[in-house]
Amino acid sequence: MTTPFPKTPTFMTIDEPFRFEGELFDLEVEGKVPTELDGWFFQVGPDPQYPPMMGDANPFNGDGIVRAFRIKDGHVDFQHRYVRTHRFNAERAARRSLFGHYRNPYTDDASVRNVPRTVSNTNIVPHAGKLLAMKEDGLPYTMDPFTLETEQMWDWNGNMKATSFTAHPKIDPATGDLVGYAYAAKGDCTKDIAYYTFDKQGKVTREVWFEGPHAAMIHDCGITEKYIVLPIIPSMTDLDRLKAGGIHFQWDASVDQVYAVLPRDGDAKDVRFFRAPNAFPGHVINSFDVDDKVYLDLPVVNDNVFWFFPDAQGKYPPPSALKTEIVRWCFDMNSKSDTPTYKIISTLAGEFPHIDDRYIGRPYRHAFLQVTDMSQPYNEAKAGPIMGFFFNTYTHMDMSTGQTKSWFAGDTSSTQEPVFAPKSPTSAEGEGYMMGVVNRRAENRSDLVILDAQRVDEGPVAVVKLPVRMKYGIHGNWVPASEFNG
């Protein structure tokens, strides 16, 4: 590499590019890794291979790199590998970056005009015997769960007609079906949405196309036994702006939150759009239906969370102006009104939720989040300045009462998305472990921290030590060994 990375916030502190691939066999453990745990904790996040062609980039533009923690018999083995996307391979061959701004193909080098430009950096999900590395601007790539070798761009054997697919599909625990959607499904900035269901062998079993109210980001979804819910974020897209070299998403404070609700066995004519005042609907905690009422739980922030996708004036709120409510929306499918009712479950600044995956789409009680607790100390002198996403606490939330138990990671640490692993396939909901990667910012390295999910306030049962720093990852999942017969 003949040019250095820029010294801008996207490339600084814990997010300095790491770019290292490899493995660490049998990580050092403090405490005891529960022997009931047998599976993988997979995560993916951005780690740009080359300095950005445009001089700077937002944190979502980096090449996807996957981490695998294989946990078995109280031991943890670790692997770290890039997703070999078409883009990664093209840039490696050229020894420089060839793709321009985030989701703006009009800023790319002419040599890659027909090369898929997704970086597969957002989520990693088991499906049809493979791992899918996913980003919502393109199709997934399949990876071998044992070696993390990238296999191919995945279009479900030629059956995926949309130009992209969400990074947040949901797996129905009763059937193993993978349920999801594409937005901008006919290409950048289109209003088209395609809802898909695939069975656990990867066969398309449902495909429904419809138009959204406007062209905007749809980042996550909720499923229930009978419905799928798509929160449409007021981060708008516009093809003319892209052609002029502008940003992909622009916050619009005059636009409502819109929730599209569609029966999973329905058609385009059955889609209902519910509206709520302008705000930022975040990641879905869970969703379920009771009679004809569809409930959706998620954090809703009062203003634009993405400072790198500002409004038309280039403005975005400072972190101190952002207020979170963990909301339970109720969409009454029998009501003629397009206004949902709601209940506020909590006002903690929690995000990156996970639940006991065996309860996806069903009434449930236990949620696991990371929280930004600004009442806790932060030792900037030792840990460095906070840039980008910042969380410092792991929290178990009882969704029936809003009561929480929390563990603060310390004044020189920050947390990454936690996941939940059940103790056994038959244990009660929420009985198991919460785990996540914690950055030890003063030591420039990270730990995998494992907590008893019902007693997170008692602190870790195991701290699995990494001698290296993990960049801020995006999403991941706990995958029981049985998923891949491993």
CB nearest ligand V55: which residue?
60
Task: Return the SS3 of 449.
Answer: strand
Residue among 371 and 462 whose Cβ is closer to ligand V55: 371
For residues 448-463, one letter each, b for 16 or more C-beta atoms within 10 angstroms of the residue's C-beta and e for the rest, the string is: bbbbbbbebeeebbbb
Residues 433-438: contacts with CB under 8 Å, at least 24 apart: 433/34, 433/37, 433/461, 434/368, 434/394, 434/396, 435/41, 435/478, 436/370, 436/394, 437/43, 437/67, 437/466, 437/470, 437/473, 438/409, 438/413, 438/414
Residue 362 Cβ, how far from ligand V55 at the closest point, in Å? Answer: 25
- 474 contacts ligand V55 (rule: CB under 6 A): yes
Tokens encoding 193: 């949405």
Binding flags for ligand V55, 125-154, as an x/- string (CB under 6 A): ----------xx------------------
Residue 60 Cβ, how far from ligand V55 at the closest point, in Å? Answer: 3
Residue 474 Cβ, how far from ligand V55 at the closest point, in Å? Answer: 5
Binding flags for ligand V55, 164-203, as an x/- string (CB under 6 A): ----------------------------------------
- 117 contacts ligand V55 (rule: CB under 6 A): no
Residue among 258 and 462 whose Cβ is closer to ligand V55: 258
Residue among 136 and 356 whose Cβ is closer to ligand V55: 136
**Pairing verdict, β 293-301 and 324-332:** antiparallel
Of these, 10, 13, 79, 122, which contacts ligand V55 (CB under 6 A)? Answer: 122
Residue 187 Cβ, how far from ligand V55 at the closest point, in Å? Answer: 16
Residue 134 Cβ, how far from ligand V55 at the closest point, in Å? Answer: 10
Task: Return the SS3 of 393.
Answer: strand
Q: Please, where are the H alpha helices in 169-255?
A: 239-243
Residue among 303 and 332 whose Cβ is closer to ligand V55: 303
- 121 contacts ligand V55 (rule: CB under 6 A): yes
Question: Which parts of 32-71 interact with ligand V55 (CB under 6 A)?
Answer: 60
- 219 contacts ligand V55 (rule: CB under 6 A): yes
Residue among 76 and 327 whose Cβ is closer to ligand V55: 327
Residue 375 Cβ, how far from ligand V55 at the closest point, in Å? Answer: 25
Is 291 buried (19+), middle (13-18) or exposed (0-12) by CB count in 10 A? Answer: exposed
Phi (first) and psi of residue 457, to 5 degrees: -65, -15
- Cβ atoms within 10 Å, residue 36: 14
- 412 contacts ligand V55 (rule: CB under 6 A): no
User: Considering CB under 6 A, how many residues would be counted as binding ligand V55?
Assistant: 7
Tokens encoding 461: 């049962």
> Is the four-CA dihedral 410, 413, 414, 418 of positive or negative sign?
negative
Distance CA 395, CA 100 (A): 38
Residue 174 Cβ, how far from ligand V55 at the closest point, in Å? Answer: 28
Tokens encoding 330: 């109720």
Q: Where does this chain bind ligand V55 (CB under 6 A)?
A: 60, 121-122, 135-136, 219, 474
